[in-house]
């Protein structure tokens, strides 16, 4: 597919909080298949929001 970066790095760039909000919306609208993973909830709760905070799935 020639994506310039993988899904975890993309999530870090966009923001884990944004990705969490999208997943929660999709789960409400489309069902539990779209529930966000626990690791995403845990990272957001810990303040690790990605590039904007210097830590997410990666350390920036």
Tens-digit pLDDT profile for residues 24-36: 999 999 999 999 9
Q: Is the CB of residue 19 less than 8 Å from the CB of residue 40?
A: yes
Q: Is the CB of residue 50 less than 8 Å from the CB of residue 16?
A: yes
Taking the C-alpha atoms of residue 33 and residue 6, their distance in angstroms, rounded to an integer, is 21
pLDDT of residue 39: 97
H helices of the chain, in order, are: 7-14, 16-30, 38-45
pTM above threshold 0.85: yes
pLDDT of residue 1: 78
Compute the CA torsion angle 42, 46, 49, 54 (nearest 10 deg). -130
- CATH number for the segment(s) 1-60: 1.10.1040.10
Q: Which two tokens stand for residue 30?
A: 């489309």
pLDDT in tens, 4-59: 999 999 999 999 999 999 999 999 999 999 999 999 999 999 999 999 999 999 99
């Amino acid at each position: 597919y020639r994506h310039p970066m993988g899904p975890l790095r993309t999530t870090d760039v966009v923001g884990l909080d944004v990705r969490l909000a999208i997943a929660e919306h999709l789960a409400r609208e489309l069902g539990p298949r779209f529930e966000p993973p626990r690791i995403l909830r845990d990272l957001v709760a810990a303040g690790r929001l990605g590039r904007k905070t210097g830590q997410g799935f990666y350390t920036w």
